[in-house]
């Protein structure tokens, strides 16, 4: 028994001034029910991936999705949280319940409303996702700046590679109608510190940072003995979660050990290697994170992350296109939604439903979603069994 | 395949000035590992039940438990939240994972640090667990005062029954060394509005409200094919979760429909009725909640909740002793810990390890843990298979 993805929904990501958190949950949920063509009465349970931590006043959001349909009343609904990997955490919880036999069909929603706060307020809320006993007052740009600084000290300045990653993801987002920023800003802009591209936390510039976003994404997952009823069916060849110590002081910043371990386990479970993947959606909360993921996923050796972008390996026409959606960098990063969004984007690619983003012949998709700085790590390898 | 409880730990509940949130997590986790006698290397995954919502600055706590032992590094760790039922939500998530076959042994911790804030700050944080679009600014005492007011208008003033519930739970807590308040305050004190027992939200007095607490509790759960290795083994005869609409405006305040549905399903799953239970630990966040639970669990008919306490049915020597631990009222209510604590207390009773709280011949224990005002409802029926 395993869980299959049979439908999905995705709101636009961006500064959605007219949308409340509840609206986003309901819009994505309704879209997923509709896309799967499933009767809400057949949904056995609901999971919500949502970070919150003060971004919105709603402190207890699991039951909001029951508002989608009267048939959902009395269904179990549970919020799952693992910082910026809360969306994947919700998917993995639903998968456990389906594999246990308790649940035959699940609705999984990831959502976040971030722009209700100003940038300082968002930065402060997100900073709660670090180790307060040692890292209180350190912002996430500053945390990833420490990774970049340590990396540059060991391997040399890789600022231009980071700018290339940003430029690639911005260019990719042109093809994604759900993306927050659809503007090809270009390598030169990303590589130059300017009034419009200031240094946020040296060596990370504004273009090295992902966006502050509102948005939601949703999946319908069913037990495989029900999957035959649906037009689309996507299997988990692997779904591995690896958590690492929260304090940065206990981790080797260059090794990105938690992410590397998640990829290692996922490849082992799926019985394949990085060379078998058609594409990957990975967690580029900061460009340095995407560069470190190139190494963690085994695309290039330790210390050689820049080669992956400089030699075009991760471009649309490269051997492993990374973040065809535009990534967190340009698609946007409503934190609780991100993991679900990544799985939705992969499902779209694998079923030929990715529109202008579509990669011809996509067969195996990899999703890597991360909470904190390599603390909660989720690696899924997805494969379509049937496409509408 | 099902999950069995094979060990547990429980910190003292109270105003624990010297204890951080992390300390509480580690203390309860270590106690549970020790009680089960399990090697940390054998733990496959960790779940944390934790409400937070600003009670502490830690916004991303799932991985803190990895600090218990180096062997826990890289194990999956996930936070689960359903307001004051977050502890049960973590237990149920672990059970799904064990029943799926993915996990053979799990560490589940529920924890909350509430006294880092003053009472106004705690009240504000907890108020986030209501429906913000309609109920913003309404405190939880005020929410349960609405239940009490509606109930009294229909069935008559039941203030003295509420005072008797408070007095019972305070008296029970005398036998619980982990309880926050171990003082037999007596019925007269609870039934009289005074300077020391002021009206908090009419008709609820101070003694009708549970406590603001720090604390943690933990369980070790294993797959039944491993349970034979442990001295204690407790089975879930039922574990049912029922969520109801978040807005109070969509619910019948007198019917307590979500809780009633959870009990109905649990009895159905276990193949038994309320008369078969030896004892129950139920969610007395306010005394009116315990009274409504008497009805929801079928101990007495709708509208007759006061009879259960007035006639002594729920006393230690009654036909169904309720909250032998002292309940949230006197044991304390560190919200994320509460659901785990209730399961621990039930496990202690069922294995003859409840000390002065022990009910002779306890065979079937019921736990009812609730998030919000009957929104997230968890009903477990537990039975010991083997006791050390």
* φ and ψ at residue B366, rounded to 5 degrees: -115, 135
pLDDT tens readout for residues B23-59: 999 999 999 999 999 999 999 999 999 999 999 999 9
* φ and ψ at residue A13, rounded to 5 degrees: -100, 145
Which residues in chain A are contacts of B51 at CB distance < 8 A?
59
Question: What is the Cα A332 distance to its own chain's centre?
Answer: 10
Nearest to A96 among B59, B100, B132 (CB): B100
Contact in structure between B207 and B190 (CB atoms under 8 Å): yes
Q: Do A79 and B78 touch (CB under 8 A)?
A: no
CATH topology of domain B3-118+212-227: Peroxisomal Thiolase; Chain A, domain 1 (3.40.47)
Q: How far is B63 from chain A (nearest CA, A)?
A: 6
Nearest CA to B366 out of B310, B307, B294, B305 is that of B294
Q: How far is A161 from chain B (nearest CA, A)?
A: 30
Report the C-alpha gap between A72 and B302 in whole angstroms.
25
Which residues in chain B are contacts of A49 at CB distance < 8 A?
none
Report the C-alpha gap between B235 and B354 in whole angstroms.
18
What is residue A288's three-state secondary structure?
A: helix
pLDDT of residue B388: 86
Does A121 contact B at CB distance below 8 Å? no
In A, minimum Cα distance to B134 occurs at A58
Which residues in chain B are contacts of A64 at CB distance < 8 A?
246
What is residue A14's three-state secondary structure?
A: strand
Nearest CA to B113 out of B178, B170, B179, B58 is that of B58
E runs forming strands in B244-309:
279-282
What was the ipTM of the complex prediction? 0.98
Nearest CA to B190 out of B203, B178, B177 is that of B203
User: How does DSSP classify residue A359?
Assistant: P
pLDDT tens readout for residues B286-337: 999 999 999 999 999 999 999 999 999 999 999 999 999 999 999 999 999 9
Report the C-alpha gap between A124 and A149 in whole angstroms.
22
E runs forming strands in chain B:
3-10, 45-49, 77-81, 105-113, 199-201, 204-205, 214-223, 233-243, 279-282, 364-371, 376-386
User: How does DSSP classify residue A157?
Assistant: -
Contact in structure between B38 and B8 (CB atoms under 8 Å): no
Contact in structure between A339 and A203 (CB atoms under 8 Å): no
pLDDT tens readout for residues A266-281: 999 999 999 999 999 9
Whether B283 is a known active-site residue: answer: no
Output the DSSP codes for B87-117.
HHHHHHHHHHHHHTTS-SEEEEEEEEE-TTS
Which residues in chain B are contacts of A137 at CB distance < 8 A?
none
Nearest CA to A11 out of A351, A1, B122, A21 is that of A21
Report the C-alpha gap between A90 and A50 in whole angstroms.
9
B214-223/B204-205 β-pairing: unpaired
Rounded to 5 degrees, what angle do the CA atoms A107, A110, A116 make?
140
Cβ-based contacts under 8 A for chains A and B: 188
Which residues in chain A are contacts of B80 at CB distance < 8 A?
78-81, 93
User: How does DSSP classify residue A303?
Assistant: T
- Of chain A residues 56-75, which have a CB less than 8 A from chain B? 56-60, 62-64, 66-67, 73-75
In B, minimum Cα distance to A101 occurs at B100
pLDDT of residue B83: 98
Nearest CA to B234 out of B39, B364, B376, B368 is that of B364
Q: Residue A348 burial (CB < 10 Å; 0-12/13-18/19+)?
A: buried
Report the C-alpha gap between B243 and A9 in whole angstroms.
23
Reply yes or no on whether the pLDDT at A238 is more than 90. yes
Which residues in chain B are contacts of A372 at CB distance < 8 A?
60, 63
Nearest CA to B64 out of B31, B107, B125 is that of B107
Query: For residue A384, what are its two tokens?
Result: 């379509």
Residue with tokens 């005869």: B237
- Of chain B residues 249-268, which have a CB less than 8 A from chain A? 257-258, 261
pLDDT tens readout for residues B336-388: 999 999 999 999 999 999 999 999 999 999 999 999 999 999 999 999 998 98
Contact in structure between B342 and B281 (CB atoms under 8 Å): yes
- The average confidence (pLDDT) of chain B is 97
Q: How far is A305 from chain B (nearest CA, A)?
A: 23
Catalytically annotated residue among A84, A190, A209, A366: A84
pLDDT of residue A388: 86
Q: How far is B11 from chain A (nearest CA, A)?
A: 21
User: How does DSSP classify residue B324?
Assistant: T
Contact in structure between A335 and A304 (CB atoms under 8 Å): no
Whether B343 is a known active-site residue: answer: no
pLDDT of residue A222: 98
Q: How far is A323 from chain B (nearest CA, A)?
A: 25
Q: How far is A221 from chain B (nearest CA, A)?
A: 15
Reply yes or no on whether the pLDDT at A171 is more than 90. yes
- The average confidence (pLDDT) of chain A is 97
Give mean pLDDT, residues B159-184.
98
Q: Do B60 and A371 touch (CB under 8 A)?
A: yes
- Among the residue ranges A81-85, A352-356, B9-13, B133-137, the one predicted with the least confidence is B133-137
pLDDT tens readout for residues A304-343: 999 999 999 999 999 999 999 999 999 999 999 999 999 9
pLDDT tens readout for residues B95-144: 999 999 999 999 999 999 999 999 999 999 999 999 999 999 999 999 99
pLDDT of residue A104: 98
In A, minimum Cα distance to B59 occurs at A128
Report the C-alpha gap between B40 and B62 in whole angstroms.
17
Residue B120: which residues within 8 A CB-CB, separation 6 or more?
Answer: none
Reply yes or no on whether the pLDDT at A376 is more than 90. yes
Reply yes or no on whether the pLDDT at B265 is more than 90. yes
Report the C-alpha gap between B170 and B154 in whole angstroms.
28
Helix runs in chain A, H state only: 21-36, 86-99, 119-127, 132-135, 140-155, 159-173, 187-191, 224-227, 257-270, 287-296, 305-310, 327-330, 335-350
Does B228 contact A at CB distance below 8 Å? no
Give mean pLDDT, residues B181-203.
98
Domain ranges of chain B: 3-118+212-227
Nearest-10 Cα torsion for A163, A166, A169, A170: -110
Which residues in chain A are contacts of B130 at CB distance < 8 A?
60
Rounded to 5 degrees, what angle do the CA atoms A181, A184, A186 make?
130
Report the C-alpha gap between B326 and B333 in whole angstroms.
11
Residue B3: which residues within 8 A CB-CB, separation 6 or more?
Answer: B94, B95, B98, B99, B106, B221, B222, B223, B224, B236
Nearest CA to B303 out of B294, B314, B290, B313 is that of B294
Residue B85: which residues within 8 A CB-CB, separation 6 or more?
Answer: B283, B338, B339, B369, B370, B371, B376, B377, B378
Nearest CA to B197 out of B182, B211, B207 is that of B207
Nearest CA to B38 out of B61, B69, B12, B67 is that of B69
Exposure pattern of B106-129 as b/e (b: 16+ CB <10 Å)?
Answer: bbbbbbbbbbebeeeebbbbbbbb
Nearest CA to B230 out of B1, B68, B4, B2 is that of B4
Q: Do A75 and B125 touch (CB under 8 A)?
A: no
B45-49/B77-81 β-pairing: parallel
Report the C-alpha gap between A6 and A36 in whole angstroms.
6
pLDDT tens readout for residues B136-169: 999 999 999 999 999 999 999 999 999 999 999 9
Give mean pLDDT, residues A357-380.
98
């Amino acid at each position: 028994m395993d869980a299959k993805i049979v439908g999905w929904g995705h709101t636009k990501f961006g500064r959605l001034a007219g949308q409340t958190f509840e609206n986003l949950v309901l819009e994505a949920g309704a879209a997923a029910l509709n896309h799967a063509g499933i009767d809400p009465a057949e949904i056995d349970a609901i999971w919500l991936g949502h970070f919150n931590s003060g971004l919105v006043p709603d402190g207890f959001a699991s039951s909001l999705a029951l508002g989608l349909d009267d048939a959902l009343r009395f269904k179990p609904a549970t919020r799952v949280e693992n910082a910026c990997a809360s969306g994947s955490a919700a998917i993995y919880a639903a998968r456990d319940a389906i594999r246990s036999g308790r649940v035959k069909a699940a609705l999984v929603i990831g959502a976040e409303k971030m722009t209700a706060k100003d940038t300082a307020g968002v930065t402060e809320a997100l900073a709660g996702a670090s180790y307060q006993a040692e890292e209180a007052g350190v912002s996430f740009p500053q945390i990833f700046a420490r990774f970049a600084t340590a990396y540059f000290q060991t391997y040399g300045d890789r600022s231009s590679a980071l700018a290339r990653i940003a430029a690639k993801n911005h260019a990719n987002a042109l093809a994604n109608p759900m993306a927050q920023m659809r503007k090809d800003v270009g390598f030169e802009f990303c590589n130059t510190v300017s009034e419009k591209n200031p240094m946020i936390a040296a060596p990370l510039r504004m273009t090295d940072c992902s966006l502050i976003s509102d948005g939601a994404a949703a999946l319908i997952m069913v037990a495989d003995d029900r999957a035959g009823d649906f037009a689309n069916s996507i299997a988990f060849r692997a779904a591995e979660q690896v958590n690492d110590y929260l304090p940065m002081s206990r981790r080797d910043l260059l090794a990105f050990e938690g992410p590397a371990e998640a990829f290692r386990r996922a490849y082992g479970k799926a019985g394949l290697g990085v060379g078998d993947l058609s594409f990957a959606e990975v967690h580029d909360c900061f460009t340095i994170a995407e560069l470190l993921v190139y190494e963690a996923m085994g695309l290039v050796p330790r210390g050689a992350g820049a080669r992956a972008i400089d030699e075009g390996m991760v471009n649309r026409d490269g051997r492993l296109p990374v973040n065809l959606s535009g990534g967190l960098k340009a698609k946007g990063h409503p934190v609780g939604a991100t993991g679900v969004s990544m799985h939705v984007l992969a499902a779209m690619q694998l079923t030929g439903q990715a529109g202008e983003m579509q990669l011809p012949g996509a067969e195996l998709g990899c999703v890597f979603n991360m909470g904190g700085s390599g603390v909660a790590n989720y690696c899924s390898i997805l494969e379509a069994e049937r496409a509408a």
